[in-house]
Structure 1
Amino acid sequence: MELRLEAVGHRYDDLTVLEDISFTVQAGETLALIGPSGCGKSTLLGILGGLLQPGSGRVVAAGDTPADCLNPLTYVFQDFALLPWRTVADNVSLALEHHALSAGERRARIAEVLERTKLSDFATAYPRQLSGGMRQRVGIARALAVRPAVLLMDEPLSALDAQTRDLLMEDFLDLWLREKTTAVYVTHNLTEALRLADRVAVLSRRPGRLREIVPLTLPQSERTKPAAQAELARLQNHLWTLIKEEARSAEREMADG
């Protein structure tokens, strides 16, 4: 599935958060969304997923959804949002319980996504028994259980330590490269954006406007190799140059506020 933003803008009362944003999230790609704090990244993700109606402009979804898709647009948040009294399998089941599936179909979907996210051995564990990385895997498994056409991810790794973050980035890549799920990935972390994305969309300081979309031509499978490091360093410097001064201004504004 493809998502097209056409002149999208949004306000909260007198505060203009987004202004005249147009771009296309292409079918099967991972688009990272970066920008200074407060530039409207999460608001834009909410508009993309239909949680918010844009104040102006529109979002158009085009293309087919998977035949077994239960929820075309599915979120993964920074907060794992697991129910502590439910096991891993039962937390995944939560996403399926209001759909017209038989008990057997639910069990099959749960078993499949637990295997894909390397959680099969923890199906009967409770969230308190899991590491932060494993709890986020449960959140991802829950999102995948509905077989979405588009994954909308709002800083899903920001609460994790560096080692766990690196491991989960590799898991994300394994899933996305194998299944070609369309994804929009909001992050403050330039390393994450450069590791995971096919393109990086850069927003300006509030009101958020599209400054540039940076294509990443190196295949994801090549980006950890020594030969790729000079190009990745160049791209990271370019992205940082685009947001550095506005990020500093946004930080000062938040501190003064």
Structure 2
Amino acid sequence: MDLRLDGVSHRYDALPVLEEVNLTARDGEILAIIGPSGCGKSTLLQLAGGLIQPSGGTVTMAGAVPPDCLNPITYVFQDFALLPWRTVAGNVALALEHHPLPRRELRDRVADALSRLGLSEFADALPRQLSGGMRQRVGIARALVVNPAVLLLDEPMSALDAQTRELLIDDFRWVWLQQKTTALYVTHNLAEALRLADRVAVFSRRPGRLREVVAVPIPQAERNQSGARLELAKIQDALWSLIRDEASAADREMAHV
């Protein structure tokens, strides 16, 4: 399913945050969103997910909804957003509980989501018993259990250490390749964006405007190969050259707030 933003602008009172954004996340692709701090990346996700309405422009979805889709759009958050008193299985099941599903289907959906994220043996564990990477896997499983048409991810790996991030990137890519859910993926990490995304949308500093969309021509399944790493490094340098000056200016601006 395509997610389209046409002429989307947004402001908070007198503060313009996004301006005239025209962007489409195509069916089955991961579209990464990068840009300087404060450029409106998280606001863009909220607009895409219908949590807030744009000050101008439209957000629409087009195309076929996946079979057994319960929620057209769902989120993966930076801070895991797990209920500490619920087990892993209970946290995943939370996304299903307002749907009138037979008990067996609910159990089967939860078991399938846990299996895809390598969490089956942790079904009865509480979040406090898990590492940060495992907790984020629970968050991803909870998002996927409803078989969404569009997945919105707001810096889902920024709270993880480097080794855990590497492992989770590989796991997320494997899971995504099995299902190919359309995804908007916000991140500050250029290498992370290039490991996962089919295209990368580069935004200017606030008010965020779409500067450029950069394709990543290397197939997902080949991105861990040595030759691919060299090509990805070149693309990363090009992306950094697009945002370096504005990132520096945004950093100085925010330091004085």
Bin for the TM-score computed over the shorter chain: over 0.9
Letter in 2 for 1:150: V
SS at match of 2:24: strand
**1:87 — aligned with what?**
87
**2:214 — aligned with what?**
214
Instruction: Find the aligned partners of 2:49 and 2:245 in 1 and give their Cα distance.
Output: 30
Letter in 2 for 1:184: L
**1:134 — aligned with what?**
134
Measure how far apart 1:127 and its partner are.
0.6
**1:152 — aligned with what?**
152
Deviation per residue, 1:186-213 (Å, 9 max, x gap): 0000000110000000000000000000
Measure how far apart 1:220 and its partner are.
1.7
**1:14 — aligned with what?**
14
Instruction: Find the aligned partners of 2:229 and 2:134 in 1 and give their Cα distance.
Output: 29
Q: Which segments of 5 or more consecutive residues in structure 1 lack a partner in the other structure?
A: none
Instruction: Find the aligned partners of 2:83 and 2:24 in 1 and give their Cα distance.
Output: 35
Deviation per residue, 1:101-122 (Å, 9 max, x gap): 1111111111110001100000
SS at match of 2:60: strand
**2:27 — aligned with what?**
27
Letter in 1 for 2:148: P
In the alignment, is residue 105 of structure 1 matched against residue 87 of structure 2? Answer: no
Instruction: Find the aligned partners of 1:162 and 1:35 in 2 and give their Cα distance.
Output: 21
Instruction: Find the aligned partners of 2:110 and 2:229 in 1 and give their Cα distance.
Output: 39
**2:253 — aligned with what?**
253
SS at match of 2:95: coil
**1:203 — aligned with what?**
203
Measure how far apart 1:179 and its partner are.
1.1
- Where does structure 1 differ by over 4 angstroms across 4 or more consecutive aligned residues? none
Measure how far apart 1:180 and its partner are.
1.0
In the alignment, is residue 239 of structure 1 matched against residue 232 of structure 2? Answer: no
TM-score normalised by L of structure 1: 0.99
Measure how far apart 1:230 and its partner are.
2.6
Measure how far apart 1:226 and its partner are.
1.4
Instruction: Find the aligned partners of 1:82 and 1:37 in 2 and give their Cα distance.
Output: 26
SS at match of 2:96: coil
Quote the RMSD (CA, aligned, Å). 0.7
Q: Percent identity?
A: 67
